Structure 1
């Protein structure tokens, strides 16, 4: 069988462990050089394929590729660029196939979330129509943990660990000042439609009265009166109140508490910061002194406190994607199958992209307490194993030692340019 090249790209918001998946792809491909000649990485995601701007990973030393496993961010560059429907913008898909054909690319590995799985699926379809079949594999990545079928998504476990740790530590800070100063602390976490990250904050507390005292989930409509009543109760009972709010918290009519009125590149509502909205609501109605924090990029880039389970799973799905492709599979995604909670055991299976693309997995109602402000024991059983274990990066002079790739470009072979 003649050797083909592979194309790998990172998509959407990156995670602390997306590079571990890249490491899994590249190292596994190198172990199978008799079948995969090289892995070309798209510079800035799928845009790198459309513009024929690709990175030659063969020019990266083995030690650099290995170090990707403990380096956060997207080593090859990512992008929030969504390909439209095939018939709506066929030119983009034809361009992809033209680039793949020109560079003898027979494998496409797309490392991303819901929209990325849709792209990988569409490319698998049009490649057949155009007479140049490409094995297209999705590789799961999303801190939101909202891809269906897979038990969890690589990237989520490390965010969950960061948020749980940060909530516990911030709560101790607030508690020490509660008698004389701050009564309320609000932390905003990611999660536009699904409350998985917000739920993870619930792991910070283990005893009655422990923080977080209130979690605001996207799945539970926000009720101002009930919320303020709960804040007042917590301050009176515990002396302080720690609130964790998902960026996607919304009213019963579906409007986000912090909707800015603009849209991002994927057409999603741009959110403008819900923490100050909630904090000011508390101040205006109850008069409590407050502080708030917006975790933002910190939560998804915190490789120094990554979950060992998350790192292992991120590498495993990258490795499995290559194995699946070499076995002739296409239009599938490696998924994580939970075998048991205690001890925590898991394995990798496969699922068709058609059943994953553009679908979201919400936080189940059984994971949210009856009053809507905290997590249940079922949620704790699900979440706890995902944050287990430490996998610290190497340190130098007190700081994590991360790597950067050389990024040697692949020579262009097409005479035409493509503007995105």
Structure 2
């Protein structure tokens, strides 16, 4: 059988387990060395392919690759760079095919979210038009948990575990001081359009007096008067109020509470910090002393608190991606199926990219409490299995010991390309 080379790249915001998917891809490629030759990685994601800045993954030891499973961040570098429309900017896609052809690459593994799924699908379509045989497999990853078809998105379970733990611990701090100090604590969670991460903060408590007392979702229009009334009632009843707010919370007209006024590389509105914005409203309307927190990158890079289920799923989709390629499949994404709730059991199936690309999965209505300020039991039942188990990295001198790769570059064969 003729051996062809493979290309792997990481895309978008990274997570504490995206390297576990990389580990799954690389280890499985090595197991099938009779079918797959050299595995290259793109330095800084798809930009590495466009600029022919490739990394020879074969130069890394088995031990270093195994260590990726417990290493956060993106080991090969990621990027926020969305390829333009294929009809008006065909040159970018043709450049990818030229690079793949120059390095005898027939397998394309793209590890990312919804925008990356779209890119992967378009590359697959163009390769067919150009008559170049290429199998494009999307490896799912997004902490936002908004990819369709899959039960959950690798990266989400660990963020959910971090947010739920942080809310529980911070709430105990606020409770200790609320009689004479802070009355309101606001924690911001990532999530531009979907409230999955904010919802996970509710796992830290429960109904009644157990914090968080309020969760604010992008799916529920923000009503300042109603929110302030709930905060005031909570403080008067319990002595303090803990709030988890999604960064994507918006008014009825769709305006974000924390719109920074510009856009990122994907065309998304840049959000400027909803936690301090909300805290300022509370101070202005109610006069309560407050504290706020924006975990930002901490929530997606906290590998020391990763969910074991999340790590296992991230690795499994990487493995399956390579198996799909070997089986001759194209334009698919290994997705997660929940087979049983209790005990929690899951499996992997192959989802068509045409049904994944540029689609978003929002919080179902029956997952949000009727008053709009919390989660239902159905949501709790969905979330709790995803944060189960601990998968701590090894520690050296009291600190996590993470993989450090050589990242050996590959000689370029083509003329330079400007982005």
Q: Which runs of 5+ in 2 are unaligned?
A: none
Distance in 1 (alpha carbons) for counterparts of 2:80 and 2:54: 17
Secondary structure of 1:95 counterpart: helix
TM-score, structure 2 normalization: 0.99
Which digits, 9 at most, give the CA deviation of each residue in 1:247-270, with x for residues without a partner? Answer: 000000000000011000000000
Report deviation, 1:208: 2.1
**Residue 411 (str. 1) matches residue 383 (str. 2):** no
Which aligned runs of 4 or more in structure 1 are off by greater than 6 angstroms? none
Report deviation, 1:206: 3.1
Distance in 1 (alpha carbons) for counterparts of 2:103 and 2:8: 13
Corresponding residue of 1:324: 324
Corresponding residue of 1:377: 377
Corresponding residue of 1:75: 75
Which digits, 9 at most, give the CA deviation of each residue in 1:69-89, with x for residues without a partner? Answer: 000000000000001121110
Report deviation, 1:185: 0.2
Which digits, 9 at most, give the CA deviation of each residue in 1:121-180, with x for residues without a partner? Answer: 000010011111200000000000000000000000000000000000000000000001
Q: Which runs of 5+ in 1 are unaligned?
A: none
Corresponding residue of 2:2: 2
**Residue 246 (str. 1) matches residue 246 (str. 2):** yes
**Residue 279 (str. 1) matches residue 245 (str. 2):** no
Alignment of 1:20-39 (within 5 A): 20-39=20-39
Report deviation, 1:411: 1.4
Secondary structure of 2:58 counterpart: helix
Alignment of 1:223-372 (within 5 A): 223-372=223-372
Report deviation, 1:104: 0.4
Alignment of 1:200-215 (within 5 A): 200-215=200-215
Report deviation, 1:207: 4.7
Corresponding residue of 2:191: 191
Which digits, 9 at most, give the CA deviation of each residue in 1:164-214, with x for residues without a partner? Answer: 000000000000000010000000010000000000001001352111101
Which digits, 9 at most, give the CA deviation of each residue in 1:43-95, with x for residues without a partner? Answer: 00000000000100000000000000000000000000001121110000100
Alignment of 1:49-198 (within 5 A): 49-198=49-198
Secondary structure of 2:65 counterpart: helix
TM-score, structure 1 normalization: 0.99
Report deviation, 1:419: 1.2
* Paired residues, number: 419
Distance in 2 (alpha carbons) for counterparts of 1:28 and 1:341: 29
Residues 307, 151 of structure 1: CA spacing in aligned structure 2 closer, same or farther, 3 A cutoff?
A: same
